[in-house]
Amino acid sequence: MAKMEVKTSLLDNMIGVGDMVLLEPLSEDSFINNLKKRFDHNEIYTYIGSVVVSINPYRQLPIYSPEKVEEYRNRNFYELSPHIFALSDEAYRSLRDQDKDQCILITGESGAGKTEASKLVMSYVAAVCGKGAEVNQVKEQLLQSNPVLEAFGNAKTVRNDNSSRFGKYMDIEFDFKGDPLGGVISNYLLEKSRVVKQPRGERNFHIFYQILSGASEDLLNKLKLERDFSRYNYLSLDSARVNGVDDAVNFRTVRNAMQIVGFMDHETQSILEVVAAVLKLGNIEFKPESRVNGLDESKIKDKNELKEICELTGIDQSVLERAFSFRTVEAKQEKVSTTLNVAQAYYARDALAKNLYSRLFSWLVTRINESIKAQTKVRKKVMGVLDIYGFEIFEDNSFEQFIINYCNEKLQQIFIELTLKEEQEEYIREDIEWTHIEYFNNAIICDLIENNQTGILAMLDEECLRPGTVTDDTFLEKLNQICATHQHFESRMSKCSRFLNDTSLPHSCFRIQHYAGKVMYQVEGFVDKNNDLLYRDLSQAMWKANHSLIKALFPEGNPAKINLKRPPTAGSQFKASVATLMKNLQTKNPNYIRCIKPNDKKAAHIFNEALVCHQVRYLGLLENVRVRRAGYAFRQPYELCLERYKMLCKQTWPHWKGPARAGVEVLFNELEIPEEEYSFGRSKIFIRNPRTLFKLEDLRKQRLEDLATLIQKIYRGWKCRTRFLLMKRSQIVIASWYRRYAQQKKYQRIKSSAVVVQSYIRGWKARKLLRELKHQKRCKEAATTIAAYWHGTQARRELKRLKEEARRKHAVAVIWAYWLGLKVRREYRKFFRANAGRKIYEFTLQKIMQKYFLEMKNKVPSLSPIDKNWPARPYLFLDSTHKELKRIFHLWRCKKYRDQFTDQQKLIYEEKLEASELFKDKKALYPASVGQPFHGAYLEISKNPKYKKLKDAVEEKIIIAEVVNKINRANGKCASRIFLLTKNNVLLADQKSGHIKSEVPLGDVTKVSMSSQNDGFFAVHLKEGSGAAGKGDFLFSSDHLIEMATKLYRTTFSQTKQKLNIEISDEFLVQFRQDKVCVKFIQGNQKNGNIPACKRKNNRLLEVAVP
């Protein structure tokens, strides 16, 4: 029987309905019940066609493992159960294989999981795209930009402990292979009012708490901060600590992420100083004072905080103090200075804090873009990820909620348009008749807000620019005049009588009927927030700061660039940003993720149906389902449809031999499905009603049960037959083995009996032979013993005679010796005198000296000048002689050693001495070079015919000819070059062809830089403006670094009479064209011997890994 290929599907083992398009019947209650049923079974993802609906589980689920990534990789969108990885894979494959730019739109209210969804999308794309050192670095930088932006742009709210308080759109750029090249981040509307004031139960931005919790004491002292949160007025205390959040650990994570993204240490320090300044601004307090002219003015109560802020930012204290107390208004050629009362001073302080922080955040985004932008200029494919605030309806809705909801109206508009467009394109592509779909078009609401003449934003800008008294009430009056007859605008003060008695609508409010429902906005604060005014005195004070970052954040403060033109309002800026975003999204293929929050308690396993229903309404999910179902509810390629349902027809089971469409037609005719329930496209079957699909599924399920029964029956019969045959074969094998065993045992018994009989007979014969041999041996031993005793007696007699004769001869010799000694002593007494003692002393001394010199002759050390061994002194009175002799011997052997040197060797030792002065105790590589001779000409250019062309081009004497590794300035890779040093020039030539690449006069060489570690990496700095410095300084790696640097130093001094600067440091700057790049040496593993592993981290940093 042919083996059936089993494939999983969205319809297999389905909990509820995996695709809402198939929901039957379709109503709001059935929609919510289906979401709840799937949520209770940990199925947090549901489809609406190609849209993913995600419910925040508020806990970790085991559905994001590397195994899950591989499971969804390169799979059809509907092939597996709904998952965010399926949408990510579909978008990535469309971008890589079909060359279509993609965008992923993630929407939902705060706490619904938008930020986590964007992280999951980016992590999936990073996991499935290519590998490699450069690709991994780009992926790591893209992923690590998230912690930095979250620290500065996220905060704890009552709905979410990590709520994004800004909108983020990231374009990830890929090459033709689908490998990431870089990215560009755009931010929208940072909630900067949170810097100075937070609602009850919420926190300021994370970075403030992270610095105070995680910074070291030394860093806090530099920033002039204290660890106590209660010391700062801008920090709310009722929720300063968040359960499950470790701000100290997060601070270290942010610092590490900033380093990976490419922030230099001084940049990080400058950022933290600005954050500290913002935090301390909240502690400045004012007191009222009355002037002589009767006007009120303000003064700073305690100037210590002001002093510390000025020390942090490098601003003159008097300049900043005046900016808080006075305001200068310029009109044409006139300047008018007015005092600020206490309320105005507090407004100026808060405006400065908000502007300083929001501009810092925008600078951070720009700086991150510089690091993660694509380095190549090849054509790129783009995948955009939009993580932006969802529709907001609070008890008190103000200007921020107004423009956020305006942005969501635009997103809803483009969502409906692109969804209908995608549906229509598929119908046309499949040659299916397109029927018009009725839906609510929210263009009328967008026009109410953004119309250039009568739109709310246009009237707000007009009111802000109008001379005279401008208040929120005058703005509301204008709205009541212009928008009174608009069907989506409501106000009690309008001319429309149906709202005059609506007590739910206060007089100071207006209401807009958005696509998600009615929202009432309090008009208070609209004018001020739209103006977003920062006094020019404060801008100029910030520009005067000695702090480079703060100075860059306030370019309008430059007196030379004073512009009396009013800056654009917050509303107009946001409107322009939204228009740019919409234009960008319309050029890409959209993919949607709709995030839903199940409850307000941020707790797991709780599903609040009313809250979910509210979100389903304002996200327009039901309308989305209706749009998808307006034509055909389900569509599937013919091959997949036939593969899934072929068992329902005898003609198509088990294998259909023919086109897949013909097989589907046979199948549907066999099942007698009405023709109005389906249509045939070019490559897909379209099913109109979900009931038809469910009928097919029920038939398939029943047929699979029948097939399973049939398979079981056949399998059980096969199993029983196989078991019987196996037992039969086993019985035969056992019987044959037993008979063999019995015969073997019988044979072993007979064999062992024969062996016993043989052993007894052989033993008897052996014992008989042994007795005969022993008798013969005893007879021979008796004769030998008698002869030995006789020979011994004869030998002892002869020995006794010889001993007696020897004693007599010895006695005669002893007597004669004693007699001669007596005679000599009698003769010597005649000549003995009183001075015999001195002669004995001199004789003894002479013998001692003779013995000393003879011993020294044998103990003299080697002739090596570095041998410090010397024999020990034998007698104390020879101490001075012993030392002098050691000195004379050392001088003599040094002279002998020097006499052996040739002129060439003397030059080498002079160079060795020069190298010792330059590098001893400074460069770790130096000790290894001491024992290596300086050859110079390692390539032997004159003898090698390969370099004949190079030899002819160089007319001067070559001092050094060596192959070095030249470091590429762009990516840190190595290329082999021939390094030539002559009396006047340094030349670089191609190793293969011998062609001269560069020629640098020695006068243009200003400095040589290297690290203090055990590596051969060095940089040759060139004089700025010289002809050779066009591309910047040279970076080399050589196995003979000490020799090359020494010879370059001596040759330069001989030529220019100036000492060449040798810089030894683990971090130095080099010039690459117009940029200065920091070369930093770190500890790491080397894969290519002594060649340093160089990595270009970003535009300003090159890391060199040394062991």
Catalytic residues: 110-111, 115, 160, 163-164, 390, 392
Which residue in this structure is represented by tokens 């597996």? Answer: 80
CB crowding 595-608: b at 16 or more within 10 Å, else e: bbbbbeebeeeeee
Q: Compute φ and ψ for 532, nearest 5 degrees.
A: 50, 50
3-state secondary structure of 592: strand
- In the chain, % helix, strand, coil (3-state, to 5) comes to 50, 15, 30
Task: Give the strands of the sheet with 678-680, arranged side by side.
Answer: 634-637, 684-687, 678-680
Q: Nearest-5° angle of CA 652, CA 658, CA 661?
A: 80
Distance from the Cα of residue 831 to its chain's centroid: 107
Cβ–Cβ < 8 Å for 128, 91: no
Amino acid identity, position 308: E
3-state secondary structure of 768: helix
Closest CA to 927 of 1037, 1017, 1014: 1014
Amino acid identity, position 751: K
Alpha-carbon distance of 883 to 886, in angstroms, equals 5
Q: How many helices (H) and strands (E) does the chain have?
A: 31, 31
Cβ–Cβ < 8 Å for 286, 324: yes
Strands 163-164 and 509-514: unpaired
State the distance between the two ends of the chain, measured CA to CA, in whole angstroms.
Answer: 63
Alpha-carbon distance of 505 to 951, in angstroms, equals 94
Cβ–Cβ < 8 Å for 82, 70: no
- From residue 157, give the alpha-carbon distance in Å to each of 111, 115, 161, 205, 398: 9, 14, 6, 10, 17
Q: Compute φ and ψ for 178, nearest 5 degrees.
A: 90, 10
CB crowding 110-132: b at 16 or more within 10 Å, else e: bbbbbbbbbbbbbbbbbebbeee
Closest CA to 578 of 842, 319, 402: 402
> Residue 761, exposed/middle/buried by CB under 10 A (0-12, 13-18, 19+)?
exposed
Amino acid identity, position 588: K
Alpha-carbon distance of 150 to 803, in angstroms, equals 117
User: DSSP letters along 358-421, please?
Assistant: HHHHHHHHHHHHHHHS-SS-S--EEEEEEE-------SSB-HHHHHHHHHHHHHHHHHHHHHHH
Q: Nearest-5° angle of CA 322, CA 324, CA 328?
A: 70
DSSP 232: -
Alpha-carbon distance of 1004 to 1026, in angstroms, equals 7
User: DSSP letters along 670-733, please?
Assistant: HTT--GGGEEE-SSEEEES-HHHHHHHHHHHHHHHHHHHHHHHHHHHHHHHHHHHHHHHHHHHH
Strands (E), 991-1044: 996-1001, 1005-1010, 1017-1022, 1034-1037
Alpha-carbon distance of 680 to 662, in angstroms, equals 10
Amino acid identity, position 633: A
Closest CA to 893 of 885, 881, 902, 883: 885
Cβ–Cβ < 8 Å for 357, 365: no
Whether residue 654 is preceded by a cis peptide bond, meaning omega within 30 degrees of 0, is yes
